[in-house]
Amino acid sequence: MDTLTPQLLLTAYCQGLFPMAHSDGIYWYDPDPRAILPIDTFTVPRRLARTVRSRRFDIRVDSDFRAVIEACAAPDVGREDTWISPELIDLYTELHTLGFAHSVETWYAGQLVGGLYGVALRGLFAGESMFSRVTDASKVALVHLIERLQRGGYQLLDVQFITPHLARFGAIEIPRPSYRARLARALQVEATFPVS
């Protein structure tokens, strides 16, 4: 396999591929069906909307990207292994430095308590992972991510695999050819990731 570089990673995303680390190396994935979260029809559950409006959390963007990805990589109950290896942490952090990866963070009482990160490439945002140390912290980060994607003109939010958590927000699975068509359209769009 070629040495992983930011350029190789961006080329892979343009083709619908993304990496995951295993104990014996890094593998490329192109799931069929593919999970996406439609940006234009995203709805916030009523209880969560109240939490967002309460401003309980301080929302920051890109203030501590590496801490977010390291928290996403940390073992958790029921998930002792992680697909985010030290090599991938370094690679995505480099993408962040180049302006292609972003984090949306939830802070409480001066502590990072939740967040998510992903890759922004023209009209595509590839959501990679999220974490939460307190109730609703990652969900609030997702709500703020969607708001930024809508504001920035993004066309496609790729979430890779469906989960019950994402399904509650309207995530759907689509066949690979449909994903590829949406990806091609998104890559024709100039979008800007708002950091404020």
Q: What is the pLDDT of residue 91?
A: 96
Q: What is the pLDDT of residue 89?
A: 96
Give the model confidence (pLDDT) of 79-104 as tens digits: 556 789 999 999 999 999 999 999 99
pTM for this entry: 0.94
Q: What is the pLDDT of residue 182?
A: 98
Q: What is the pLDDT of residue 6?
A: 95
Domains detected in the chain: 6-186 (3.40.630.70)
Q: How far apart are CA 36 and CA 169, in angstroms?
A: 11
Q: What is the pLDDT of residue 80?
A: 59
Query: With a cut of 50, which residues of the chain have pLDDT below it?
Result: 1
Q: What is the pLDDT of residue 23?
A: 86
Q: What is the pLDDT of residue 85?
A: 92
